[in-house]
Structures are given as structure tokens and as C-alpha cells.
Chains A and B, each alone.
Chain A
């Protein structure tokens, strides 16, 4: 909360990016639409069980006469609470064409297991 207020004080506002969450191959995948965010301006943190994603955007520095303005200005900032089923050491992120993919690996111990029944 405090961090969000800090960002809001620095730039004008924070936006929440559009996010898809799905499970695939034993991973939870977050896909966020973050147009205009570059790799070095992206900050992903895990603090305890909080996953914070902050993508700073470059402000459009065009000095001309604005005829239309529909793109929101501001940084992308959102927080997710992740539970103990996520393996903290198996978190990866990639950014491509303004699309951020965060892969959260599920712990091996939490995955469904097949128990072999031995007939005697």
C-alpha cells in the first residue's frame, strides 16, 4: 500500500494491467498486457507471500498538438498473494511484445500423484 502511494506521488497514477491466469503443465501462468514497458523498467518482487509487479512506462514525450488521447498514462502496478503451493525458487518471467508472462512453478509435493497399488 505504501509503495503504491509512493508511485502515485511520483507519477500520476497506477494502472492495473489486464491479466490472464491459467494453469499449464504444473505451472501457474500469469499473462499481463503491458504495452510500452521495457525489460529494464520492469520490477517483479516476491516478499513473503506477496508478488508485486511494477512496470514503469515511459511517458509519451510528444510536444505537438494532441488531437486524440485515449492511452492512459501511468505505471502498471499490481499485487498478488501467492500461497504455499508455489515453489519460490521456480518463478520465471519473460517480456515479449508488451506481454509479460510470469511462470509460477507448483511445488512437487503439491502436484497430483498417482499411487501404485501393489497387489499381494
Chain B
């Protein structure tokens, strides 16, 4: 059995209560001071990922705003998917004077272990509007199969 990190939403987290309170107070004053998402590096230095399992494929969706196609490297070894990349900081913007900097840049990597093996030759990846979608078709033996069982009536 492959291991996938399972994030339990209703698990008790004392800090989530505090951040919820902060959001509610901010809403009261209509303050948008703190970003709801910290962008690309939202979770401990890695972009956000959704994994969806369909009957014949897996879909991995990731938010990668402002990243060039050539800076993304998607690789697969048996059932381990690695998304690697680098967000480069524009050199031209460095000469400007910064008032606020919330986005981060640098390298990132995410490795996922998929529950079943996939057809690595047929993996497709698409980058559109800053969202990377990777479609990984399941191997034939891993697809759910329906077997029809013929029931014979006895005594005729």
C-alpha cells in the first residue's frame, strides 16, 4: 500500500482557532492585510497540490503562478511522481523600490507516491494560467474491473 499524506480537516488544531479568529476580526474591519494564501510556497516551502482519483486515471493539479514551462520538471519513476521547478526572480524588478513583498521565489519540489502504478509513457502535463494539470493513466491491471458471473439454474 502506497503512502499518501492524508490531511484530516477536522483534526483539532489549536492554531486554526486563532487564525479563524484573526480572519473574523479582519473581516469585521474589512482589512485584507494578511494574505489568505501565501502563494506558491503556501505549505512548508512547496506549492499546493490536489490529487484526484478517477476510475482510469489520476489527476494532479498544482498552482504554479508565474512559472515558465522550461523551469518545471515533472518526472515519474514507477509510481513516484516528482514535480520540481524553480521560480526565478526577475532581474529587472530588483532595481525598483519595494513597498511590499509577499511572493517568494526559489526552487521547490514535491514528491507524491501514487497508490497504484501508472502508465509512465502516457503521462500528460499541461500548464495553463498558472495551473499545472498532470494526467496519469492507470495501468490496465489497476483499473477497477467488473466481472460478470453467470448464474446457472440447477435442475433443468
Contacts and interface: CB of A to CB of B under 8 A. Distances in A.
A96 B128 CA distance: 10
B22 to A, nearest CB: 13
Interface residues of B, number: 49
B74 interface: no
Interface in A1-18: 1, 4, 13-18
Interface in A33-84: 33-38, 60, 62-72, 74, 78-79
A29 to B, nearest CB: 7
A93 interface: no
A66 B65 contact: no
Contacts of B102: 18-20
A23 B50 contact: no
A13 to B, nearest CB: 8
A67 B95 contact: no
Interface string A18-31: 11111111001101
Nearest to A30: B100
Contacts, number: 149
Given A68-B4, A79-B32, A97-B65, A35 B129 contact: yes
Contact of B130 (A19, A25, A35): A35
Interface stretch (B12-20, B40-48, B118-126, B146-154): B40-48
A4 B34 CA distance: 16
A16 B36 contact: yes
A33 B103 CA distance: 8
5 contacts: A22-B98, A22-B100, A33-B130, A71-B61, A98-B65
Interface of B: 4-5, 7, 30, 32, 34-40, 42-43, 48-55, 58-59, 61-68, 92-93, 95-103, 112, 115, 127, 129-131
Q: 3 shortest A-B CB distances, which residue pairs?
A: A98-B130, A18-B39, A35-B130
Given A16-B35, A17-B39, A72-B36, 14 more contacts: A19-B35, A21-B100, A22-B100, A22-B101, A24-B92, A35-B130, A36-B130, A60-B61, A66-B50, A68-B112, A70-B7, A71-B62, A97-B130, A98-B131
